[in-house]
Amino acid sequence: MKDILIKSLYRETKQYIGKEVKISGWVKTVRASKAFGFIEVNDGSFFKNVQIVFDEALENFSELGKLPISASIEVIGEVVETPGTKQPFEIKASKVTKVGNSSSDYPLQKKRHTFEYLRSIAHLRPRSNAFSAVFRVRSIAAYAVHKFFQEQGFVYVHTPIITASDCEGAGEMFRVTTLDMENLPKDEKGKIDYSQDFFGKSANLTVSGQLEGEIYALAFRNIYTFGPTFRAENSNTGRHASEFWMIEPEIAFADLADDMDLAEEMVKYIIKYVMENAPEEIEFFNSFIDKGLKDRLNNVLNSDFARISYTEAVELLKKADVEFKYPVEWGCNLQTEHERYITEKIYNKPVFVTDYPKDIKAFYMRINDDNKTVAAADLLVPGVGEIIGGSQREERLDVLEARIAELGLEKEDYWWYLELRKYGETKHAGFGLGFERMIMYLTGMSNIRDVIPFPRTPGSAEF
């Protein structure tokens, strides 16, 4: 007899009522009296448990009452409707078999644990309600990303993780090496000789797949990346991790307006897909993690995202009737307090802020005709602030070369990036979405460590 998944029992209850089924799963709770008992069992396929009713007719009745939490069992029984109770059905067991043991010191007993404690048992926390919900949502959201892009014919590109490219910029990067650390080879000048390292030169972990993504957009028109990226920043906040996943679409024959259209569509698609495919989980987050969650998500779905220029935004912030910690002047970076004021107080919906001063943005962004701003767009959302950063890319070879020179960068380091302009100058644009930030937005979880299965942060790379 084949197992039925608990998800199927919930999603297609009607077809199972009155039928005998077999399920396997882990014991969540057991209550037993003299003549009968209840087991809550979960098989991991669904957020909710199934209730098993068993009685003294079963030959192992007394053993069942003592089942340890998280033991594995197999249940055969009839699916019975239970109108008027919390769960729509239960299983009246004709046979319950313990197929795997557990231990009475199982750390996830019924009482509530702090998220901090649960992080220390990352091998068990996905079995808890909250983390089971988080990581199922993470999976469903990842699929939504792929579905959104693939259904429009975007090509998924695996950009490299290890890079010896000099043009990723001077972000804080992790070195990748196979040199014998206790016995490093030196060159004539007494410096470490990276020509003897694995890749024949110094290598790092990538901070972004964008530049390589552009290569593929200029071949396939519409592409996206979705892979891990790294920051060796020594900052211990709830919003930074050293290893996180990024989504970076890049579109050719497209300008900044097209880029914003795509970002808006994508954000709405992901939210809608997750709300439709993980309703129980979203309900849980809304009840126990973040009471305003559903309203906020629905508000995003039903809004036309606003679009204002950085210059306009600065004007509005200056006029604002609040005292900011960081004063606002044209030319400064917007802080989270500014971003949240714009999206929450001024608009109460997502807002694209466009055309930032070129001095606070990256070299590859397209210079506007005013020669002071670039065709960049950041998406700010209520509750968080910036969630997406994008731009039209500088496709004019001469302008890009001038910009590289102006910033004191080495033209030779950018040879292939420049050749993309020389051989087929094409208008193109793209953006980056930090996947974890999206998951935090979808779940209301406030620490990035709680939306990554095995978070990597300064001092911590366990499991």
Residues 161-200 that bind its own copies (CB under 8 A): 161-165, 172, 174-178, 181-182, 184, 191-192, 198-200
Residue from the set 78, 243, 255, 337 that interacts with its own copies by CB under 8 A: 243
**CB nearer to its own copies: pick between 8 and 311:** 8
Q: In the stretch 351-370, what mask flags binding to its own copies with x, by CB under 8 A?
A: --------------------
Task: Identify the burial level of 84 via C-beta atoms within 10 angstroms of its C-beta, where 0-12 means exposed, 13-18 middle and 19 or more buried.
Answer: exposed
Q: Does residue 416 interact with its own copies by CB under 8 A?
A: yes
Residue ranges in 115-154 that form contacts with its own copies under rule CB under 8 A: 122-124, 126-127, 131-132, 135-136, 138-140, 142-143, 146, 150, 153-154
Q: Does residue 454 interact with its own copies by CB under 8 A?
A: yes
Q: Does residue 90 interact with its own copies by CB under 8 A?
A: no
Kindly indicate which of the ranges 353-361, 364-372, 380-388, 421-429 contains the residues binding its own copies, using the contact rule CB under 8 A: 421-429
Question: What's the rounded Cα separation, in Å, for the pair 413 and 168?
Answer: 9
Name the nearest CA neighbour of 133 among 287, 25, 360, 236. 287
Residue ranges in 259-298 that form contacts with its own copies under rule CB under 8 A: none
> Is the Cα dihedral 363, 366, 372, 377 positive or negative?
negative
| φ/ψ of residue 279, rounded to 5 | -65, -35
Determine the 3-state secondary structure of 77 from DSSP: strand
Q: Does residue 414 interact with its own copies by CB under 8 A?
A: no
Determine the 3-state secondary structure of 141 from DSSP: helix
| Closest CB 150 distance from its own copies, rounded Å | 5
Q: Does residue 155 interact with its own copies by CB under 8 A?
A: yes
| φ/ψ of residue 155, rounded to 5 | -95, 125
**CB nearer to its own copies: pick between 185 and 238:** 185
- What is the number of other CB atoms lying within 10 angstroms of the CB of residue 326? 12
Residue from the set 89, 216, 364, 431 that interacts with its own copies by CB under 8 A: 216
| Closest CB 400 distance from its own copies, rounded Å | 13
| Closest CB 262 distance from its own copies, rounded Å | 13
Identity of the residue numbered 48? K
Question: What's the rounded Cα separation, in Å, for the pair 403 and 408?
Answer: 9
CA 177 to chain centre: 28
Q: Answer yes or no: are the C-beta atoms of 38 and 72 closer than 8 Å.
A: no
Kindly indicate which of the ranges 228-236, 299-307, 333-341, 357-365 contains the residues binding its own copies, using the contact rule CB under 8 A: 228-236
- What lies within 8 Å, CB to CB, of 273 at 6+ separation is 140, 141, 143, 144, 147, 148
| Closest CB 199 distance from its own copies, rounded Å | 4
Q: Does residue 392 interact with its own copies by CB under 8 A?
A: no
Tokens 């199982």, residue? Answer: 106
| Closest CB 213 distance from its own copies, rounded Å | 10
Question: What's the rounded Cα separation, in Å, for the pair 186 and 193?
Answer: 5
Residue ranges in 38-57 that form contacts with its own copies under rule CB under 8 A: 43-45
DSSP-derived secondary structure letter, 411: G
Kindly indicate which of the ranges 68-76, 309-317, 349-357, 363-371 contains the residues binding its own copies, using the contact rule CB under 8 A: 68-76
Residue ranges in 93-122 that form contacts with its own copies under rule CB under 8 A: 99-103, 106-107, 122
Q: How many residues at the interface with its own copies, by CB under 8 A?
A: 105
Question: What's the rounded Cα separation, in Å, for the pair 138 and 143?
Answer: 9
Q: Where are the alpha helices (DSSP H) in 12-113?
A: 61-64
**CB nearer to its own copies: pick between 34 and 191:** 191
Residue from the set 4, 9, 16, 24 that interacts with its own copies by CB under 8 A: 24
Q: Does residue 341 interact with its own copies by CB under 8 A?
A: no
Residue from the set 4, 50, 96, 205 that interacts with its own copies by CB under 8 A: 205
Question: What's the rounded Cα separation, in Å, for the pair 129 and 443?
Answer: 13
Q: How far apart are the first and last CA of the chain?
A: 36
**CB nearer to its own copies: pick between 61 and 273:** 273
**CB nearer to its own copies: pick between 92 and 396:** 396
